[in-house]
């Protein structure tokens, strides 16, 4: 693996059991995250973003899930590790900030002991030092000392999210996976959380995988962006390139749905993300939602094409794309 790469995902396929059959929520994903990089993954709900993130350290219920491919981290394929080996990586070298902190934190325990739990498992700190470290972490994320003795339900949404960030940072991981960390927060608190992540990243040289459907958040924070649809990466580029020149019909449709000055009526994207059990077998999976593009413009077996250095697009249908707004 390249020395600049921290994480490299190759042909990742995550399938969930429905009845007696398995259906892929993540289908053949290839990604590489550099050291000290913020890598954003965007797409509608149901695109497979969270399913992919949880697959990195095999956090799915494996009784109902099949995970195939490679997730190379620190020159080791995480998917080949035993549960015991993975537990030494989770929370230590790779941490995760979950989407809903209220359901992620244990309601029966105070905040301080929940931060200490990670330190107890991964470090040799004695109890007194673990408590001191927990208070330091709370301070680092802008929380007062007395929060140590608070229960999760006593805190606001933004405060609970800060606690989750403190837990994620407790062992100074190389990689943080942030799964929609600002979704349930108001705009002011959202800006504070994003500013906090940027500050901590600069101080600790941590890489961040940011999963979101908010393109405004992406514009403020990301170095690179992958656009995900129906389990596949349909476009990949630097943040600057993607915002300047989105190419795939899905990406351009997302951008056309963003409010802007003088935009008038917002554009809409027809239909919804397809169900796992009804995915198109061949061709561009976004094709049913853009019927004004002729079928001949889509590749039968879409390939990831590098249209310019560092800018990749799935399927050549972008060459024929002209956005057609819904008639009202």
Domain ranges of the chain: 5-222, 229-320
> Above 90 in pLDDT, residue 2?
no
Q: Angle at the Cα of 244 (from 39 to 261), degrees rounded to 5? A: 110
pLDDT band at 296 (very low <50, low <70, confident <90, very high): confident
Average pLDDT estimate for 78-88: 94
Per-residue pLDDT at 327 = 43
Q: What is the pTM of this model?
A: 0.89
Q: What is the pLDDT of residues 45-82, one digit of tens each?
A: 889 999 999 999 999 998 899 999 999 998 899 999 99
> Cα(311)–Cα(321) distance, rounded to whole angstroms?
17
φ, ψ for residue 212 (rounded to 5)?
Answer: -160, 165
Segment (H or E) for 201: helix 187-204
pLDDT band at 9 (very low <50, low <70, confident <90, very high): very high
Say if domain 5-222 classifies as CATH 3.40.50.1000: no
Per-residue pLDDT at 277 = 85
**Read out DSSP for 59-87?**
-S-TTSEEEEEEEEETTEEGGGS-HHHHH
Q: What is the pLDDT of residues 10-54, one digit of tens each?
A: 999 999 999 899 999 999 999 999 999 999 999 998 899 999 999
Q: What is the pLDDT of residues 115-167, one digit of tens each?
A: 999 999 999 999 889 999 999 999 888 889 999 999 999 998 889 988 998 99
pLDDT band at 224 (very low <50, low <70, confident <90, very high): very high
Dihedral angle computed from the Cα positions of residues 165, 168, 171 and 173, in that order, rounded to the nearest 10 degrees: -110
> Above 90 in pLDDT, residue 3?
no
């Amino acid at each position: 693996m390249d020395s600049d790469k921290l994480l490299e995902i190759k042909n990742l396929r995550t399938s969930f059991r429905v009845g007696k059959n398995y259906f892929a929520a993540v289908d053949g994903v290839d990604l590489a995250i550099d050291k000290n990089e913020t890598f954003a993954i965007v797409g509608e709900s149901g695109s497979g973003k969270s399913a992919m993130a949880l697959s990195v350290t095999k956090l799915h219920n494996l009784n109902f899930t099949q995970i195939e491919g490679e997730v190379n981290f620190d020159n080791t394929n995480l998917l080949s590790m035993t549960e015991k080996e993975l537990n030494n990586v989770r929370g230590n070298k790779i941490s995760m900030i979950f989407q809903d902190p209220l359901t992620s934190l244990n309601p029966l325990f105070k905040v301080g002991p929940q931060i200490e739990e990670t330190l107890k498992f991964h470090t040799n700190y004695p109890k007194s030092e673990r408590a001191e470290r927990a208070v330091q972490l709370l301070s680092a994320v802008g929380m007062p000392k007395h929060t140590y003795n608070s229960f999760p339900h006593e805190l606001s949404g933004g405060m609970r999210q800060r606690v989750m960030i403190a837990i994620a940072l407790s062992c100074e991981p190389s990689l943080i996976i942030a799964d929609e960390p600002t979704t349930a927060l108001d705009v002011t608190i959202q800006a504070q959380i994003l500013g906090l992540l940027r500050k901590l990243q600069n101080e600790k040289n941590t890489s961040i995988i940011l999963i979101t459907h908010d393109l405004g958040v992406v514009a403020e924070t990301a170095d690179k962006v992958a656009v995900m649809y129906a389990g596949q990466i349909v476009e990949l580029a630097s943040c600057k390139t993607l915002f300047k020149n989105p190419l795939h019909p899905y990406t351009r449709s997302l951008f056309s749905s963003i409010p802007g000055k003088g935009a008038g009526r917002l554009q809409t994207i027809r239909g919804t993300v397809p169900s796992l059990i009804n995915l198109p077998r061949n061709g561009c999976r976004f094709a049913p939602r853009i019927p004004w593009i002729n079928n001949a413009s889509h590749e039968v077996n879409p390939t990831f094409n590098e249209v310019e250095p560092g800018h990749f697009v799935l399927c050549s249908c972008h060459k024929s794309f002209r956005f057609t707004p819904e008639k009202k």
